[in-house]
Structure 1
Amino acid sequence: MRKWMLALALAAGSMGLLAGELNELRFITEESASLNYVFEGKPHGPAVELLLAATRHAGSPMTRAQIEVLPWARGFRSAKQGPHAVLFSTLRTPEREAHFQWVGPIGQERDVLIGRKVHAFSFTHPQDFHKYVIGALRDDAAAEHLRAVGLPDENLVLATQVNHLAKMLHAGRIDLWAFGEGGWLHVLETTGLDERLFEVVHHFPSRDYYFALSLDVAPALVAQLQTAVDAVLREHGDIYKLGLSHQSSTPSSPTTAVTPATTSEIITKGTHHELD
């Protein structure tokens, strides 16, 4: 009898998880100037405003305090593993397709390569990338793209903190830095580097941003969020037209609340670890 009651309780608990509300999910984002960032210690940006508006529209409102801001690599791993996680803003790529459920698109951006102006760069064929050491965020779409065009592992430096890549580029420890077109200037500013020393030397094709939901999120919740996101975007026409909660859409000096990386997370080149 006792075993039967325990089994019934576990089954009821599982059903409760499957029938949960949107605002019971775990929401994860990163510090990135284009769509989501930290301002005065709280998550802000067009993607944050869209999420808040969509959950209100769905009748399951959430707050900024529920959004975790993590370094991209850590947030990506957490969302991929679950349980019940939503990662944003996430570029939808073939490499990621089967690992998440997708809600969107919510915006668009293209990755770029940033170099120092003292050097001349020329790219005609994908093999031209092989002449350089290029830095990118671990698990970022830019790193996936570089691998897809055949960049050897020994030419790819991966980091979990984007400001480390900016510093490495400035110091000449990498030749190029791959990052989103809408965010690299903000990174230089918050890292204290002079943007006049750097320039975009290559553009990758544009891709769409989504909310990426872990595979264990109930399909009904995925559909509910998609319907709400579509409704909010129809009303406003564009994610950047959503009313922001403060004056600047890309703050000049935000208070960073990103969870710090451990020393073993910072820089990886091939299988060798080094500290920045």
Structure 2
Amino acid sequence: MGVKHLILAFFLGLSATAHAETIHFLTEEYPPYNFSTAGGANGASVEQVALIMKALDLPYDIEVLPWARAFTLAESQSLHCVFTTGHDAERDRKFKWIEPLLVDHMIMVRHRDSAIAPRTIDEAKEFVIGTQREDFSATYLKTHGFEKIDYAANLDSTVKKLIAGRVDLVMTSEKTFESMQAAGRPVEAALVLEGKQYGIACHRDMPDETIARLQAELDRLIADGTQDRIFERYGLRPNRIEQAAK
């Protein structure tokens, strides 16, 4: 390629970057993965998204919303993505995925002073389970025949209900449970369930090339240990990818 062609390619590349459309990342209050601060969104998953987008040099923004609204926007609006999103069979067809931001077990949590001790999923169905609307756990509970489900706008509200005795159990990820304990919340494990992958769920119109670039950069963060180092800063265990199940 001649010098003129190289110069032309360079400026065409700059022009493409300058006119690239903004990708909108939506998330919720779900510490330590995503949460609001005075300086904007932060958390273990937010840091990963920011590093991915910085490496790709694409325009983006991150907004913290109630989970149900964030999920609905990502499902209905082009160039919108939602995270940290549990990947299950029902959601699989609704989005294009970049994962895993997180690999973890699902777990049912009780108040520290509670005597509730279900040994199986069927036994857990006897109790009122707290969750969030459009959360992966809500889908899990409905799919597995739970009828006593209490919905809240976010995890913090659900945990407050647990501590106040308004729900019997809360369903969340094992790492989130551990962060609750580290923060001094009066909770303990009641029942450990299956493994789950969590990732970035993007609108189906997101170009495949963009999805591939996002995935390649996340793969790099995982391979070079950056993801684990981020988890360590937030007091989280490294991912155990072999235990995940979509």
What TM-score do you get using the length of structure 1 for normalisation? 0.70
1:176 aligns with 2:169: yes
Distance 1:38 1:131, change over 3 A: same
**Structure 2 residue 107 is matched with structure 1 residue 119:** no
**Where does 1:40-189 land on structure 2 (aligned, <5 Å)?**
40-60=38-58, 62=60, 66-152=61-147, 155-184=148-177
Letter in 1 for 2:195: S
Residue 184 of structure 1: how far off its partner (Å)? 4.4
Structure 1: give runs of 5+ residues left out of the alignment: 1-19, 251-276
Distance in 2 separating the partners of 1:232 and 1:184: 24
**Letter of the structure 1 residue corresponding to residue 56 of structure 2:** A
Partner amino acid, structure 2, of 1:49: E
SS of 1:210's equivalent? strand
Q: What is the CA distance between 1:186 and its match in structure 2?
A: 5.4
Conserved 8 A contact 1:163-1:187: no
Report the Cα distance in structure 2 between the residues aligned to 1:188 and 1:167, rounded to whole angstroms: 14
Amino acid in the other structure paired with 1:233: I
Once the two structures are TM-superposed, the CA of residue 156 in structure 1 deviates from its matched residue by 0.7
Q: What's the CA shift for 1:242?
A: 4.2
Post-superposition offset of 1:33: 1.9
Distance across 1 between alignment mates of 2:188 and 2:168 = 12
1:116-167 residue CA offsets vs partner (Å, 9 max, x unmatched) = 2333223233221221111101111111222222112xx1111112222222
Please give the secondary structure, in 2, of the residue aligned with 1:151. coil
Identity %: 25
Distance 1:50 1:117, change over 3 A: closer
Match of 2:242 in 1: none
* Offset at residue 177 of structure 1 (A): 1.4
Among 217, 223, 231, the alignment partner of 1:228 is 217
State the number of aligned residues.
217
Equivalence for 1:211: 200
Structure 1 ranges of 4+ moved more than 4 A: 184-190
2:68 and 2:133 in contact (8 A); partners too: yes
Give the Cα–Cα distance (whole angstroms) in 2 for the partners of residues 95 and 180 of structure 1. Answer: 19
What's the counterpart of residue 225 of structure 2? 237
Give the CA deviation at 1:26: 1.0
